[in-house]
Amino acid sequence: MAQEFDLVVIGSGPGGYVAAIRASQLGQKVAIVERENLGGICLNWGCIPTKALLKSGEKFESLSHLKDYGLSASGASFDFDAIIQRSRGVAKQLNQGVGFLMKKNKIEVIEGSAKLEKGAAAPKVVVVLKAGGSRTIEAKTVMLAVGARARALPQIGLEADGDKIWAYRDALAPKKLPKTFVVIGSGAIGIEFASFSRALGAEVTVVEAVDRVMPVEDEEVSKAAQKGFEKRGIKFKLGAKVTKVSKDSKGVKVDLEVSGKTESLEAEVCISAVGITANTDGIGLEALGVELDRGHIKTDSHCQTNVKGLYAIGDCAGAPWLAHKASHEGIHAAEHIAGYKTPNVHSPIAGCTYAQPQVASVGVTEQGAKAEGREVKIGRFPFKVNGKAIAAGETEGFVKVIFDAKTGALIGAHMIGADVTEMIQGYVTAITMEATEEDIHGIVYPHPTMSEAMHEAALDAYGRVIHI
């Protein structure tokens, strides 16, 4: 059978569709296989629609603070169904946008579920088509961008049913807003759903197995985040092991073990946010001998697997499980496949949480640097003395930067506060360009902006801070 394509991409999420576009730009004949919706989970059931929900929650919650701005209004209410429909509409619009990009770049979209079989230059792709029947495709190269799904723990009863136990997908399109939630897991997904639900008035308790919220973040940020969330009325159970989740007609009961003692929480709904599982089962990897690491596909620095002609990118290829990491890998892999000389720049990957307050970080944490035995200089600057933050009434939070004491290189940055998810890219660029404290000290930041806190934090690390 003759090769139909140069590249077949399996999965059209933020890694897959971007890789397909870049490959097409480089003259490759490309097909993309998608079993559900163009844009994948991120666009349809993850990153994008959650931000739409969070914005609705933020707007509504801000109405209770109008007095702070010399304003007043009465009779504020919300239409929960309209909030959900707005979020779904945003996802639909972007889904159509991806469809347009596929046509523009002459990428053939094949709707169906793919499985790999042994082939010549690369594995064969056998697609069970949505429209019925099947199609076998041969290509020079195959790229897996199959993503991941919410992790279930059926042994303790933590398995989404769309009714009383929700995973992220259920939480994005509920028919009504429950009055009480237990959220299991305080990573970005758990915290964002907790933040949205609380903004609309629900009682929310977040359960976390370790002794602090958002455990991947810098400890200082983690503590500040907890205070900020508690100020809004979100409750926390930390160092709590979930032993059982049970359902009855009223809702759910979550049994916990905390400091050797047993206790339980009750709520109408439990949201499970305990991590993800790669979609690597049932697609023929075992028969091909594809190497896995704890369920994720092992790859080299160019996203190649151990099987000839097979690449893997994004969530299915391991942490960090972030859309922008998947897109970055997709572009790199597409360029490597096409023989294009990819720039040898390895950008650090920022993490963002879009709750209230927002959290954003890149590079090493203070505790991580100390664990590595690195000598560091640390600077901090609070938004409470930043002019723009005071004027905007957004004084919560701070910026924290970490420099290598020997070289002056910026190696970590951590922020909490309003719109910090938009600011973090400044530090991502700085680290990528190997900026030192001297470089950052010499940058002129516009005034008045929240970003001035980024400059002052860098000055603070070297005893040069101006406004505190």
Q: Taking residues 66-83, report their average pLDDT.
A: 95
Whether residue 1 is predicted with pLDDT greater than 60 in this model: the reply is no
Within a domain: 284: yes
Residues 245 and 111 in one domain: no
Tens of pLDDT, residues 332-352: 999 999 999 877 668 899 999
Tens of pLDDT, residues 296-328: 999 999 999 999 999 999 999 998 999 999 999
Say which CATH number the domain at 283 has: 3.50.50.60
User: Where is the domain boundary, 255, 274, 293?
Assistant: 274
Residues 295 and 195 in one domain: no
User: Where is the domain boundary, 256, 274, 292?
Assistant: 274
**What tokens appear for 237 in the block?**
């159970």
Cα 14 to Cα 456: distance, rounded to the nearest angstrom:
35
* pLDDT of 343: 72
Beta bridge partners of 9: 32, 143
Per the omega criterion (within 30 degrees of 0), is the bond before 174 cis? no
Q: Considering the chain, what percentage of its residues have pLDDT values greater than 90? A: 93
Tens of pLDDT, residues 192-217: 999 999 999 999 999 999 999 999 99
Within a domain: 412: yes
Confidence of residue 68 (pLDDT cuts 50, 70, 90): very high
Residues 216 and 176 in one domain: yes
Within a domain: 348: no
Residues 50 and 164 in one domain: no
Average pLDDT, the chain: 95
Within a domain: 53: yes
Say what the pTM is: 0.94
**What tokens appear for 465 in the block?**
């801070």
User: Where is the domain boundary, 274, 299, 325?
Assistant: 274
Number of domains in the chain: 3
Residues 246 and 175 in one domain: yes
Tens of pLDDT, residues 150-159: 999 999 999 9
Residues 297 and 311 in one domain: yes
- Single out the catalytic residue among 65, 346, 447, 467: 447
Q: Which residues contact 17 (CB under 8 A, 6 or more apart)?
A: 9, 32, 38, 39, 40, 98, 101, 102
* pLDDT of 2: 58
Q: How far is CA 62 from CA 199, 231, 237, 425, in A?
A: 9, 14, 27, 26
Residues 383 and 449 in one domain: yes
- Backbone φ and ψ for 86, nearest 5 degrees, come out as -60, -45
Residues 362 and 451 in one domain: yes
Within a domain: 345: no
447 is catalytic: yes
Tens of pLDDT, residues 384-415: 999 999 999 999 999 999 999 999 999 999 99
Whether residue 238 is predicted with pLDDT greater than 90 in this model: the reply is yes
Residues 110 and 15 in one domain: yes
Residues 237 and 191 in one domain: yes
Residue/partner pairs of 170-176 with CB below 8 Å, 24 or more apart: 171/271, 172/45, 172/49, 172/50, 172/53, 172/84, 172/87, 172/88, 173/84, 173/88, 174/84, 175/81, 176/80
Whether residue 46 is predicted with pLDDT greater than 80 in this model: the reply is yes
Cα 307 to Cα 359: distance, rounded to the nearest angstrom:
39
Residues 134 and 26 in one domain: yes
CB atoms within 10 A of CB 90: 17
Which segments within 202-355 are labelled E, that is strand?
Answer: 203-208, 235-238, 240-247, 252-258, 261-267, 269-272, 276-278, 292-293, 296-297, 310-312, 351-353
Q: Taking residues 52-68, report their average pLDDT.
A: 95
Cα 443 to Cα 450: distance, rounded to the nearest angstrom:
15
Residues 409 and 326 in one domain: no
Q: Taking residues 354-383, report their average pLDDT.
A: 97
Q: Taking residues 258-268, report their average pLDDT.
A: 95
* pLDDT of 346: 80
Whether residue 56 is predicted with pLDDT greater than 60 in this model: the reply is yes
Say which CATH number the domain at 401 has: 3.30.390.30
Continuous segment of H or E residues that includes residue 45: helix 40-45
* pLDDT of 345: 67
Confidence of residue 41 (pLDDT cuts 50, 70, 90): confident
Whether residue 45 is predicted with pLDDT greater than 90 in this model: the reply is no
* pLDDT of 285: 96
Within a domain: 468: no
Within a domain: 456: yes
Domain hosting 290: range is 5-149+277-337
Within a domain: 28: yes
Beta bridge partners of 126: 115, 136
